[in-house]
C-alpha cells in the first residue's frame, strides 16, 4: 500500500515541476487565480453596486470614476464586469462538473461492464453526438427555459458525451492491465476495483480534458446569454451585457468592448493552463 501512495504522489510532483517551468501556463494560472479572487470578493472591491443606476451618467466613456464607462442605465461597467466573473466562472465550473459526473458514470459503466450495456450506451451517445454542441445547449434551453440553473444543465448535457467516451476508453485499456488483474485475483469486489484501482488512474487525463472544457463552457455561457437563451438581464453576465450593449455600438462602443475583453481574458487563461496541464500530465494527448 505505501508503494502505491508514493508512486501516485511522484506523478503529481513531476507534473507540478513540469507545469511550473511552463511560463504560458503559469501566466494563465495566475490570471485565473486573480479572476477567482475578484469573483469571490466582488462586493468588497467593486466601486458601485452591479444594479446601481445613475441617470446623470448614462453611456459615459472611460473616466477615473468609471474605468470602463457606464451603460444605458448609468450602471458602472467595471463593476458589472467584476460581478460577471462570478457568474461565468461559477456557472462554467458547475456545468463542467455536472457533465463530468454524468459522463463519468456513463463511461465507467460502459467501459467496465462492457458487452450489451456498452453497445446500448455508445449507440445512445452517437445520437447525442449527432447534434453540434451549441445546438444541444440551445435544445436544453428550449425545453427548460432560461436561467442560471438551466444553463448549468445545458453545459452539463453538451459536455457529458465527450467525458463519457474519454472515461470509457481509459477504463477499457486499464482494466486489462496487470494491476487490475492482481486486484481481482486478491479478491477485490467489482466496485472496489472500479473506484479505488481504475478511477484514480484516469484522474490525470480527466483533469486535463475538464480544464480545456472549462474554456468552452465559459464561451458557451456567454454565447447562450448573448442569444437571449441563457442568463437574463439585468444579471451582469458578460454575454448579456454584450447583447444589451450592441444597440449602442455607434454612440458608446465601450459598452460592447469591455465585457468581450473579459471573456477573451478568462477563456485565454483557462486554455493556457489547460494546455500546460496537458503537457505536464499527459504528453501523449498532445497530438489530439
Q: Retrieve residue 15's grid coordinates.
A: 507534473
Footprint on residues 104-123 left by other proteins (CB under 8 A) = 123
Maximum Cα–Cα distance across the chain? 77
Q: Which CB atom, from 58 or from 265, has the smaller least distance to other proteins?
A: 265
Determine contact, residues 204/282, Cβ cutoff 8 Å: yes
d(CA 149, CA 153): 6
Asked if 149 touches other proteins (CB under 8 A), the answer is no
Asked if 285 touches other proteins (CB under 8 A), the answer is no
Between CA 87 and CA 240, with CA 30 as vertex, the angle to 5 degrees is 20
Determine contact, residues 239/225, Cβ cutoff 8 Å: yes
Work out how close the CB of 134 gets to other proteins at its nearest, in angstroms, rounded to a whole number. 5
User: Would you tell me the crossing angle of helices 238-245 and 254-281 to the nearest 10 degrees?
Assistant: 150
DSSP 232: P
Stretch that binds other proteins, among 39-47, 72-80, 184-192, 219-227 (CB under 8 A): 219-227
Binding residues for other proteins, total number by CB under 8 A: 38
Q: In 220-260, at which residue ranges do the beta strands (DSSP E only) sit? A: none
Asked if 23 touches other proteins (CB under 8 A), the answer is no
DSSP 131: S
d(CA 8, CA 88): 33
Q: Which CB atom, from 1 or from 143, has the smaller least distance to other proteins?
A: 143
Q: Which CB atom, from 100 or from 224, has the smaller least distance to other proteins?
A: 224
DSSP 200: H
What does the per-residue mask of binding to other proteins show for 233-272, with x meaning CB under 8 A? ------x--x---x--xx--x--xx--x--xx--xx--x-
Tell me phi and psi for residue 2, to 5 degrees: -60, -30
| Binds other proteins (CB under 8 A): choice among 96, 162, 226, 276 | 226
Work out how close the CB of 243 gets to other proteins at its nearest, in angstroms, rounded to a whole number. 8
What does the per-residue mask of binding to other proteins show for 82-101, with x meaning CB under 8 A? --------------------
Which residues of the shown chain bind other proteins in the complex (CB under 8 A)?
Answer: 123-124, 126-128, 130-135, 138-139, 141-143, 215, 219, 222-223, 226-229, 239, 242, 246, 249-250, 253, 256-257, 260, 263-264, 267-268, 271
Amino acid at each position: 500500500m505505501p508503494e502505491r501512495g508514493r508512486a501516485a504522489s511522484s506523478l503529481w510532483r513531476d507534473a507540478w515541476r513540469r507545469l511550473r517551468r511552463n511560463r504560458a501556463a503559469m501566466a494563465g494560472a495566475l490570471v485565473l487565480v486573480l479572476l477567482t479572487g475578484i469573483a469571490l470578493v466582488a462586493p468588497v472591491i467593486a466601486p458601485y453596486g452591479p444594479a446601481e443606476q445613475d441617470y446623470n451618467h448614462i453611456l459615459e466613456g472611460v473616466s477615473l470614476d468609471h474605468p470602463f464607462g457606464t451603460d444605458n442605465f448609468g450602471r458602472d461597467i467595471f463593476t458589472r464586469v467584476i460581478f460577471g466573473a462570478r457568474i461565468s466562472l461559477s456557472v462554467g465550473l458547475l456545468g463542467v462538473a455536472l457533465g463530468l459526473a454524468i459522463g463519468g458514470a456513463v463511461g465507467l459503466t460502459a467501459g467496465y461492464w462492457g458487452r450489451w450495456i456498452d453497445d446500448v450506451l455508445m449507440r445512445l451517445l452517437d445520437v447525442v453526438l449527432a447534434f453540434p454542441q451549441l445546438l444541444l445547449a440551445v435544445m436544453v434551453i428550449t425545453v427548460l427555459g432560461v436561467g442560471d440553473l438551466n444553463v448549468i444543465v445545458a453545459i452539463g448535457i453538451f459536455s457529458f458525451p465527450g467525458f463519457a467516451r474519454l472515461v470509457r476508453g481509459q477504463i477499457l485499456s486499464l482494466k486489462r492491465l496487470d494491476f487490475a488483474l492482481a486486484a481481482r485475483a486478491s479478491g477485490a469486489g467489482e466496485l472496489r476495483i472500479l473506484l479505488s484501482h481504475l478511477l484514480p488512474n484516469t484522474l490525470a487525463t480527466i483533469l486535463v480534458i475538464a480544464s480545456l472544457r472549462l474554456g468552452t463552457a465559459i464561451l458557451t455561457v456567454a454565447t447562450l446569454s448573448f442569444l437571449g437563451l441563457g442568463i437574463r438581464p439585468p444579471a451582469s453576465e458578460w454575454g448579456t451585457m454584450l447583447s444589451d450593449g450592441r444597440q449602442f455600438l455607434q454612440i458608446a462602443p465601450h459598452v460592447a468592448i469591455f465585457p468581450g475583453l473579459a471573456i477573451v481574458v478568462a477563456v485565454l487563461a483557462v486554455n493556457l493552463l489547460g494546455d500546460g496541464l496537458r503537457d505536464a500530465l499527459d504528453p501523449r494527448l498532445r497530438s489530439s
